[in-house]
């Protein structure tokens, strides 16, 4: 099957290893392509990345375009943008997806700006549907769904008149499909002429900072919001997290108020998490926060306001002051555990 | 020899302090009740430019914003903090612009300002959280970019080169690149300075003035005692030579199909009494179904 009119995924690699979000997007692209009765393509750019291409096919990719060049080892915007523009112009996909990572959000807007097509940032859901405007009916359009306006609303965005329809998609929201080692796809080298002036940026060094906060890897997250009230009161949230062997999370409001650092932020502009247990302490549950934690297996909400929206998505609700509830929780767990 | 610096700023509704009346019954946003503020990360971008100006005598900081007439407030605030030149691009024909149409208008305004070494933007605006306008503007200008800059490590004016620290997942990278370049700045490295009292006194009555006749370069020789009434340049679509088809709704490929505030449905929430017995019971349930323990 030709990749013309395909659902295309920009495959992000870091140190020649494919990013998790790109696998998530391939899985989603497979779903969308099935609905649209078209194929899935991927674009893998790097220095020596051929070895990674095979495993991409297992997730339902029909064709992976590979562009290898020693100078492409580290992502920089100018050459990567040039390659994406050329490949999109040649292959003409109907949809292009990027992870909403620092890389995807760097390249996606440049490509959109050059091609004068739409780009929706940080989508949390993608669907296919119809759209009508000014007497024109468009069928099989990509619904690009994202929280907007500080997370207070959910907007469905379409760009029906221009192809490709493009979106950056938040990490961790699309489910990874089951790899199928028998899936047949092809790997196609793609030629782009690159000259030295295409590489104005040089990555002098990359520094990994040890992750002090590991929200994604935690099975239990105890988060605090504005209701915690102060930096000092956050100690109690920390203590509960510690006792349960979990990590400490926070709402954007709590981070903005300076109660805790940004690495702890869960939500649309923070980290998306899916732990076995999420305990929301003094968090009202604005959609911007819910977008980052609603998929948790179990949710406990502790809040003084019984009408707080967080209760609507919780499995257990405790109406009360967290300073009063958390010590009881700790005591109960220590007694049982 | 100083640097020519341009900072793109935006006035935004304060979405981070949304009260109960911020949403209307029909689920749309009640903008009228949200205070308008200087987009927080744009203040950091402004500060980064002002720091470079302080370090490199002879530098000029130009501010451009697009918005309704009320957006002059962020320009006045920029003047209070140390900007040399400010311009508001405002026209009904810009209404309904998505990030693509916005970046086109900003590109036209930047070209009107003329030569520049570095264009600064905040990483993203809190009303859209897209982080797209910066890179889209860079692409339209045909220049390089460094996004998510937390710190400018070094500037070499002679070589016209910058070294910047770019925040990425799990750490950061140091990028070296020549001018001209666009940077998007995070809220990590440049806590904004407060407005200067003298500058507030000078500019508090500044108002917007149409400068359709062309770009007034007299500011270059001016100092703080310049005539404040003409401090704010107001540019419409013609003043920046923008093509109407690329502006506003007409130039915006993305359309909002639907906006909704999610209606939450209470599924099977179990309310737990705030007593030791009830909480202990809940903990027991969580341990027995292997959620905890």
Which residues of chain A from 65 to 124 reach within 8 Å of chain B, CB to CB? 74, 76-78, 81, 101-103, 105-114, 116-122
All residues of chain A having their beta carbon less than 8 Å from the beta carbon of residue B178 are 200
Q: Does domain A7-198 have CATH number 3.40.50.620?
A: yes
Distance from C-alpha of B196 to C-alpha of B10, rounded to nearest angstrom:
21
**CB proximity under 8 Å: A 28-67 to B:** none
> pLDDT higher for B289 or B148?
B148
Q: What are phi and psi of B35, to 5 degrees?
A: -65, 145
Residue B270 has pLDDT above 60, yes or no: yes
Largest CA distance in chain A: 67
The answer to whether residue B258 scores a pLDDT higher than 50 is yes
Q: Would you state the structure tokens that stand for residue B51, as one six-digit string?
A: 């720091």
Residue B20: what are its φ and ψ, rounded to 5°? Answer: -65, -25
Q: What is the DSSP letter of B238?
A: T
- Within a domain: B176: yes
Highest mean pLDDT pick, A157-166, A167-176, B34-43: A157-166
**What percentage of chain A carries pLDDT values higher than 90?**
80
| CB B167 within 8 Å of CB B148 | yes
| Angstrom distance (rounded) from CA A24 to CA A97 | 11
In degrees rounded to 5, what are phi and psi of residue A192?
Answer: -130, 130
What pLDDT is recorded for position B210? Answer: 43
Query: CB–CB of B100 and A309 under 8 A?
Result: no
Q: Which of B29, B173, B253 comes nearest A152 by C-beta? A: B29
CB atoms within 10 A of CB A286: 24
Q: Which two tokens stand for residue A219?
A: 């099975």
pLDDT-derived band at B29, boundaries 50, 70, 90: low
Does the pLDDT at position B119 exceed 60?
yes
Residues of A in contact with B177 (CB under 8 A): 200-202
SS3 label, residue B257: strand
pLDDT of residue B229: 41
Give the A:B interface size as CB pairs under 8 Å: 247
Query: In the prediction, which pLDDT does A224 show?
Result: 96
The three-state secondary structure class of A108 is helix
Quick check: A183 pLDDT over 60?
Answer: yes
Q: Is the pLDDT of residue B32 over 80?
A: no
- Chain B residue at shortest CA distance from A246: B292
> CB-side exposure of B64: number of CA atoms within 13 Å?
26
Structure tokens at B77: 């605030």
pLDDT over 90 (residue A268)? no
Query: How many angstroms from the chain centroid is the CA of residue B65?
Result: 9
Query: What confidence tens digit (pLDDT) does each residue in B189-222 have?
Result: 999 999 999 999 888 888 776 443 334 444 444 4
Burial (0-12, 13-18, 19+ Cβ within 10 Å), B242: buried
Q: Is B66 a member of any domain? A: yes
Average pLDDT of the residues in A281-292:
88
In a domain, residue B280? The reply is no
Q: Following CA atoms B62, B64, B69, B70 in sequence, which dihedral angle do they give, to the nearest 10 degrees? A: -80
Are the beta carbons of A201 and B15 separated by less than 8 Å? no
The confidence score (pLDDT) of residue B76 equals 95
How far does A161 lie from chain B, in Å, by closest CA?
7
Cα A46 → chain centroid:
22
Mean pLDDT of B234-239: 94
Q: Would you say residue B260 lies in a domain? A: no
Residue A271 scores a pLDDT above 80: yes
Structural contact between residues A251 and A286, judged by C-beta atoms closer than 8 angstroms:
yes
**Cβ contact, residue pair B271, A200, below 8 Å:** no
A16 touches chain B (CB under 8 A): no
Please state whether beta strands B144-156 and B161-168 pair in parallel, antiparallel, or not at all (unpaired).
Answer: antiparallel
Q: In angstroms, rounded to a whole number, what is the distance separating the alpha carbons of residues A226 and A222?
A: 14
Interface residue A160 vs chain B (CB under 8 A): yes
Q: Is residue B291 part of a domain?
A: no
Query: Which residue of chain A has the CA closest to B283?
Result: A333
pLDDT at residue number B21: 63
The number of folded domains in chain B is: 1
Instruction: Please give the Cα distance from B291 to B282 (Å, whole number).
Output: 11
Summarize the confidence of residues B100-119 as an average pLDDT.
97
More confident position, B25 or B45 = B45
Q: Give the residue range(s) of CATH 3.40.50.1220 domains in chain A.
A: 220-336
Residue in A76, A105, A204 closest to B174 by CB: A204
Task: Give this complex's ipTM.
Answer: 0.85
The three-point CA angle A105-A106-A108 to 5° equals 65
> What is the pLDDT at residue B293?
76
Residue A261 contacts B, CB cutoff 8 Å: no
Best residue of B283, B285, B290 to probe chain A, by most A CBs closer than 10 Å? B283
Note whether A239 and A333 are within 8 A (CB).
no
Which of A113, A154, A204 comes nearest B140 by C-beta? Answer: A113
Distance from CA of A120 to the nearest CA of B (A): 8
Q: Do B100 and A337 touch (CB under 8 A)?
A: no
**B12: closest chain A residue by CA:** A149
Residue A313 with chain B: CB contacts under 8 Å: 264, 267
Range B144-156 average pLDDT: 97
A226 in B contact zone (CB under 8 Å): no
Is residue B256, in this structure, part of any structural domain at all? no
DSSP code, position B194? P
Look at residue B277 and tell me if it is in a domain: no
Nearest to B126 by CA among B13, B232, B205: B13
Q: Which residue of B has its CA nearest to A100?
A: B130
Residue A240: pLDDT band by 50, 70, 90 thresholds? Answer: very high
Cβ count near A73 (within 10 Å): 17
Range of the domain at B133: 4-251
Chain B interface includes A125 (CB < 8 A): no
Query: How many angstroms separate the CA atoms of B131 and A254, rounded?
Result: 22
What does DSSP assign to residue A304?
S
Kindly state the average pLDDT of the residues A319-331: 95
What is the CATH code of the structural domain delimited by A220-336? 3.40.50.1220
Please tell me the predicted confidence (pLDDT) of residue A111.
98
DSSP-derived secondary structure for A172-234:
T-SPPPPP-TT---EEEE------GGG---EEEEEEEPP-S--STT-SEEEEE-GGG-STTTH
Domain harbouring B151, CATH code = 3.40.50.620
Structure confidence at residue B240 (pLDDT): 96
Interval A74-102 mean pLDDT: 97
- From chain B, the residues in CB contact with A167 under 8 A are none
pLDDT at B262: 56
Q: Do A205 and B174 touch (CB under 8 A)?
A: yes
Mean pLDDT, range A155-160, rounded to an integer: 94
């Amino acid at each position: 099957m030709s990749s013309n009119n395909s659902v295309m995924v920009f495959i992000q690699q870091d140190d020649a290893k494919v990013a998790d979000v790109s696998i998530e997007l391939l899985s989603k692209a497979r779903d969308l392509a099935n609905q649209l009765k078209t194929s899935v393509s991927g674009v893998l750019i790097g220095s020596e990345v051929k070895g990674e291409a095979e495993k991409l096919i297992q997730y339902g990719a029909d064709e992976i375009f590979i562009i290898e060049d020693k100078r492409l080892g580290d992502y920089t915007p100018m050459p990567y943008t040039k390659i994406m523009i050329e490949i999109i112009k040649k292959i003409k996909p109907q949809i292009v997806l990027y992870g909403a990572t620092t890389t995807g959000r760097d390249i996606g807007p440049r490509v959109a700006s050059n091609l004068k097509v739409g780009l929706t940032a940080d989508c949390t859901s993608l669907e296919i549907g119809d759209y009508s405007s000014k007497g024109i009916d468009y069928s099989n359009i990509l619904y690009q769904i994202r929280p907007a306006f500080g997370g207070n609303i959910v907007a469905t965005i379409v760009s029906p008149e221009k192809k490709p329809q493009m979106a950056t998609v938040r990490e961790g929201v699309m489910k990874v499909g089951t790899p199928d080692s028998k899936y047949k796809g092809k790997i196609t080298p793609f030629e782009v002429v690159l000259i030295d002036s295409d590489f104005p940026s040089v990555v002098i060094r990359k520094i990994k900072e040890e992750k002090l906060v590991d929200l994604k890897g935690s099975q239990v997250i105890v988060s605090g919001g504005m209701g915690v009230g102060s930096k000092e009161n956050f100690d109690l949230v920390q203590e509960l997290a510690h006792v349960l062997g979990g990590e400490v999370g926070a709402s954007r409001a709590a981070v903005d108020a300076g109660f805790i650092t940004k690495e702890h932020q869960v939500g649309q502009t923070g980290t998306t998490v899916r732990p076995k247990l999420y305990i929301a302490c003094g968090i009202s549950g604005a959609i911007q926060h819910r977008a980052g934690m609603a998929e948790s297996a179990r949710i406990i909400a502790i809040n003084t306001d019984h009408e707080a929206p967080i209760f609507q998505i919780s499995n257990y609700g405790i109406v009360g002051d967290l300073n009063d509830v958390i010590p009881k929780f700790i005591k109960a767990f220590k007694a049982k555990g | 020899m100083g640097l020519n610096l341009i900072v793109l700023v935006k006035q935004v509704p304060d979405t981070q302090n949304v009260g109960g009346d911020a949403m209307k019954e029909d689920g749309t946003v009640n903008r009228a009740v949200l205070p308008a503020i200087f987009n927080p990360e744009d203040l950091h971008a402004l500060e980064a430019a002002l720091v470079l100006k302080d370090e490199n005598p002879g530098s000029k900081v130009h501010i451009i914003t697009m918005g309704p007439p009320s957006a002059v407030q962020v320009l006045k605030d920029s003047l209070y903090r140390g900007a040399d030149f400010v311009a508001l691009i405002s026209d009904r024909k810009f209404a309904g612009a998505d990030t693509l149409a916005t970046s086109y208008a900003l590109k036209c305004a930047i070209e009107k300002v003329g030569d520049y070494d570095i264009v600064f933007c905040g990483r993203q605006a809190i009303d859209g959280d897209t982080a797209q306008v910066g890179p889209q503007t860079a692409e339209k200008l045909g220049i390089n970019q460094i996004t998510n800059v937390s710190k400018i490590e070094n500037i070499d004016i002679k070589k016209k080169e910058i070294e910047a620290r770019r925040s990425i997942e799990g750490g950061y990278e140091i990028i070296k690149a020549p001018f001209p370049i666009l940077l998007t700045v995070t809220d990590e490295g440049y806590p904004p300075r407060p407005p200067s009292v003298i500058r507030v006194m000078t500019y508090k009555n500044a108002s917007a003035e149409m400068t359709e006749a062309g770009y007034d370069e007299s500011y270059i020789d001016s100092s703080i005692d310049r005539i404040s009434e003409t401090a704010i340049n107001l540019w419409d679509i013609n003043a920046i030579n923008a093509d109407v088809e690329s502006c506003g709704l007409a130039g915006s490929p993305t359309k909002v199909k639907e906006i909704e505030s999610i209606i939450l449905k209470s599924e099977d929430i179990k309310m737990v009494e705030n007593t030791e017995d009830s909480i202990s019971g809940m903990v027991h349930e969580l341990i027995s179904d292997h959620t905890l323990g």
